[in-house]
Copies of this chain bind each other. A is one copy, B any other.
Amino acid sequence: MSRRPSLSDVAKRAEVSVSLVSRILSGDTTVRARPETQQRVHEVAAQLGYQPHGAARALRLSRAGALGLVVHEVSNPIHAEIIRGAQAAATAAGQVLLLSDAPELAANADAFAQLVGTGRIDGLMWQGSGEDYDDELVARAARQLPTVLVNSRPRAGVPALRLDDEAAARLAVEHLIGQGHRHIGYVGGRPGADLTERRYAGYLAALRDHDLPVRPEWTVEREWDAPAGHAAMAALLATDPRPTAVFVANVVVAVGALAAAREAGVAVPEQLSVIAVHDAWFVAHGAPPLTTVRLPLDRLGAEAVRLLLSGEGSPVPAGTAADGAAGGGGSAAMGDPGGGGDPVGGSAGRGIVLADPPPQLLVRGSTTRPEGMR
């Protein structure tokens, strides 16, 4: 028959027992089998193209060999970077990556159960976007699985991985200040979202450090998409006086903001400098090419994988579903991995900041000295 060869097929052909084959092929060091036997087994296995059956292994070991990644919108280039990093890291660790979509999981309870409750994955990475349903779903997931939040602060007791957004914002704003700008506006993302707040903090810190005024009407927050950026920039340009430069908290938002400036007849960078956090391939080709601060988004994904695999994901609380004894699923480890973290809480609820590599300024055409300066 042409079905996939199993251990017993190999065993039969090599004329040894199944268990011996298992031990030999899995590189069990305590197996002191005859060298000739070992070789024979290896040969037969190769000949037959034997590969262990994933489900059987998962069942026996009660480890799925897979990790889940939940993202809010694949088409967002920022999320794509995270996916890329996670994908590569998972593969490198011999795990497969299961991709899912947050809005869909929120809308479809079966889908959620299918992903989280069936033992298909050993850990879950959840890209938090500050949606309302995030907290609830993440909390539910964390009850069943080691879970890590990505690009978010810790919520619902689930550890979180994030980048040094404050430093990035600071770097961006300081670039503007260095060019001589003293009137700098802020376009954020969704109000109240972690990311917005952290980047706003960096913006404020930079202004403060240089004794520059903060004007409330120059702070506009809408959403994390281009239309929102468009609206925000339009609002900002309607102020009087108007800033000579704008820091935009996200490159996607910046795309809309640039379009709004263009439509308003405000030349960038001649009349208005614009800088944004995160880089995406297409902004380098824009008019003008956008100056950005790049953050290592791919590392975010990679580090999340590492965390999960090293057992530092959210510990699964004991006595969840049925009875009530101790013993647990996810092991919990301590320590502060990753570069320069600022651990917040205890074993759960930690916030880890990936500060390495640091934010990188990519100067392109959208920033320049303010008009009338020299």
Chain A interfacial positions (CB closer than 8 Å to B): 1-5, 9, 48-49, 51-59, 64-66, 74-75, 77, 80-81, 83-84, 87-88, 91, 94, 96-101, 104, 108, 110-111, 113-115, 117-120, 144, 226, 230, 252, 255-256, 258-259, 262, 281-282, 285-287, 316-329
| Known contacts A1-B327, A59-B53: A120-B100 contact under CB 8 Å | no
Q: A100 vs B2: C-alpha distance in the bound complex, in angstroms?
A: 26
Distance (whole angstroms) from the CB of A253 to the closest CB of chain B: 11
Contact of A75 among B81, B101, B262 (CB under 8 A): B81
A54 in contact with B49 (CB, 8 Å): no
Taking a contact as CB atoms closer than 8 A, the residue among B285, B316, B317 that contacts A255 in the complex is B285
A256 touches B285 (CB 8 A): yes
Cβ contact within 8 Å between B120 and A108: no
Q: Tell me whether A110 and B94 are in contact (CB under 8 A).
A: yes
Shortest CB-to-CB span from A54 to chain B, Å, is 4
Q: Known: A96-B114, A320-B2. Contact between A226 and B49, CB under 8 A? A: no
- Shortest Cβ distance from A86 into chain B, in angstroms? 9
Contact, CB under 8 Å: B51 / A2: no
- Expressed in whole angstroms, the Cα–Cα distance for A303 and B120 within the complex equals 24
Residue on B nearest A225 in the bound complex, by CB = B281
Q: How far is the CA of A87 from the CA of B51 in the complex (A)?
A: 27
**Do the beta carbons of A111 and B91 come within 8 Å of each other?**
yes
> Contacts A64-B55, A319-B2 hold; do A101 and B88 have CB atoms under 8 A apart?
yes
B88 touches A83 (CB 8 A): no
**Additional A-B contact list (13), CB under 8 Å, known A54-B58, A258-B285:** A4-B119, A48-B321, A49-B322, A51-B113, A54-B119, A55-B56, A75-B84, A87-B99, A88-B101, A91-B114, A96-B98, A98-B99, A286-B287
Question: Could you list some 19 contacts between A and B, CB below 8 A?
Answer: A1-B323, A2-B321, A2-B322, A2-B324, A3-B327, A3-B329, A49-B322, A52-B118, A54-B64, A55-B119, A66-B120, A75-B84, A87-B101, A91-B101, A94-B114, A96-B120, A97-B98, A259-B286, A259-B287
Q: Which residues of B contact A320 (CB under 8 A)?
A: 2
Across-interface contacts of A52 in B (CB, < 8 A): 118
Q: Are A91 and B100 in contact (CB under 8 A)?
A: yes
Closest 7 CB pairs of A and B: A55-B58, A54-B118, A51-B117, A259-B285, A287-B287, A75-B80, A99-B99
A84 and B91 contacting across the interface, CB-CB below 8 Å: no
Chain B nearest CB, measured from A283 CB (Å): 8
Minimum CB–CB distance for A145 against chain B, Å: 10
The listed residue with most B CB atoms (<10 A of its CB), out of A77, A96, A255, is: A96
Q: A84: nearest residue on chain B (CB-CB)?
A: B74
Shortest beta-carbon distance from A299 to chain B in Å: 15
For the complex, give the distance between the alpha carbons of A160 and B110 in Å.
30
Question: With a CB–CB cut-off of 8 A, which chain B residues contact A104?
Answer: 87-88, 91
Complex CA distance for A52 and B120, rounded to whole angstroms: 10
Query: Are A87 and B100 touching (Cβ within 8 A)?
Result: yes
Q: Which residue of B is nearest A286, CB measured?
A: B286
With A74-B87, A230-B285, A320-B2 known as contacts, the answer to whether A53 contacts B258 (CB < 8 A) is no
CB distance from A53 to the nearest CB of B (A): 5
User: Using Cβ atoms and an 8 Å threshold, which residues of chain B touch A281?
Assistant: 75, 226
CB pair A99–B120 under 8 Å, yes or no, is no
A98 CA to B91 CA, complexed, in Å: 11
Which residues of B have CB within 8 Å of A84? Answer: 74-75, 101
